[in-house]
Amino acid sequence: MGKLNFSCQLYSLKNILALFFKNYFKNTEYKKKGKYFVAQCYLNQNFSGKIQISKKNNEINILGVKNRNFKQKKLIKEIDLFNKKNDRLEIKKIFFNQIGASNHLGASIPMTKNKFLPLGVDKYGKLNNTKNIFITDSSVLNEIDTSPITIFSLNNIFRMILDNKNHKN
């Protein structure tokens, strides 16, 4: 889709519904473009919205800010072209979540060499200006790719553990 890349995690509707109606879906056969999936899609950080957090008078405000680079109409046009070219999968309906409704978050407490950044961590995940607090989830990743973030988080945690000379066996 050109510069507008995204990743989709597909969940078979047959498998989801079969959890509740096992006997009904047992011998169901599907033709081309006849299978149904639920998809959760992630945009590249260059097109994704941002979450803006501010504090004023002991009140915390959280605001989803749209990304001006992302055009829903352009995405829908690209999906229509995909549907015409593809005989195995057809995308029928798209729902857009509110900004911040996804679990594809990161870079809120990024890795940095700047020891004075209060919400920053070193390459081992140690929170700046603390003794024994380590952050090892996706919030320490400086960039978010379109792929499901779990693998990046796990690889980063594994790297932190293997590289940390203070780790006791």
DSSP letter for each residue of 79-120: HHHHHHH-SS-------PPPTT-SS----SS-B-S-TT-TT-
pTM: 0.54
pLDDT tens track for 68-80: 988 889 888 888 8
| Interval 126-132 mean pLDDT | 91
Predicted local confidence at residue 59, as pLDDT: 92
pLDDT tens track for 13-65: 766 676 677 665 555 555 555 566 777 777 777 888 888 888 899 998 888 89
